[in-house]
Structure 1
């Protein structure tokens, strides 16, 4: 499980870093064309917007995988043993529910509608842009399963230490 998480973390981190570098170059190009040549590039503006959405959502999946998302630890810090495990699994299952509804079901509908829309500046259908929603949903679900497995293994490890 750790190997899967490590591979996913490295791959997503690399993709996000490459996309951020691409966005930096694109924004620089846009500023130069706008102010130096007085001919703003609408294509780069749209591409920058879509890239921002993609990097944000891929970054969201990465943050969920590393369990670094915003959370209130008021109760979880006070729980130990099985109660902590139950709360951790419950939290992950709540996230799974939201991901299924928003990213998978909603994302699938967006992709379907996006096939009927076109980006005039990029000359492509919007389904390619909206495809990031189900992709992010699948990545978060994989991370959720890894998080649940890790919580169970950690609980079993704590139980073994108590017995000894």
Structure 2
């Protein structure tokens, strides 16, 4: 599982780095065309918006995979042993449920709607923009499975060593 997670981390980190670099170049181009040539580019504006959505959702999946998401540690810091394990397990299941319902199921419906919409400036089907929703949902769910497996392994190891 660690190998799969490492590969996913590298691919997502690379994709996010590429998108951020692309967005920086696009924003620079946008500023130059707007203020130097007084002719703003609508294509670059749309590409920036869509790239921002993609980097945000792919970055979200990466953050959940690395367990760097925001959390209230007021409760989890006070819990130890089985209670802390149960809370962590429940949290992973809750995140997984939200990812399935909102990102995968909802995102799939949005992709369906996007298949009949065309981006006016880019002249492409909006399903290519919206496809990131179910993709990020699947990535989050895969990360949740990996996190749960690692959590159970840690708990089992701690129990065997008599730490709990």
For residue 105 of structure 1, what is the aligned residue in structure 2?
Answer: 105
Pairs within 5 Å for 1:45-60: 45-60=45-60
For residue 117 of structure 2, what is the aligned residue in structure 1?
Answer: 117
Deviations 1:69-96 (A, max 9, x none): 0101111112222211111111111111
Pairs within 5 Å for 1:7-86: 7-86=7-86
Question: What is the number of equivalent residue pairs in this alignment?
Answer: 163
Shift of 1:48: 0.4
2:82, 2:2 → 1: CA distance?
Answer: 22
| Residue ranges of structure 1 left out of the alignment (5+ in a row) | none
Could you say what secondary structure the match of 1:117 adopts? coil
Q: CA RMSD in A?
A: 0.9
| Residue ranges of structure 2 left out of the alignment (5+ in a row) | none
Shift of 1:137: 0.1
1:78, 1:153 → 2: CA distance?
Answer: 22
Give the 4+ runs in structure 1 shifted more than 2 A: none
TM-score where L is the length of structure 1: 0.97
Please tell me whether residue 157 in structure 1 is matched to residue 154 in structure 2.
no
Could you say what secondary structure the match of 2:91 adopts? helix
1:80, 1:157 → 2: CA distance?
Answer: 15
TM-score where L is the length of structure 2: 0.97
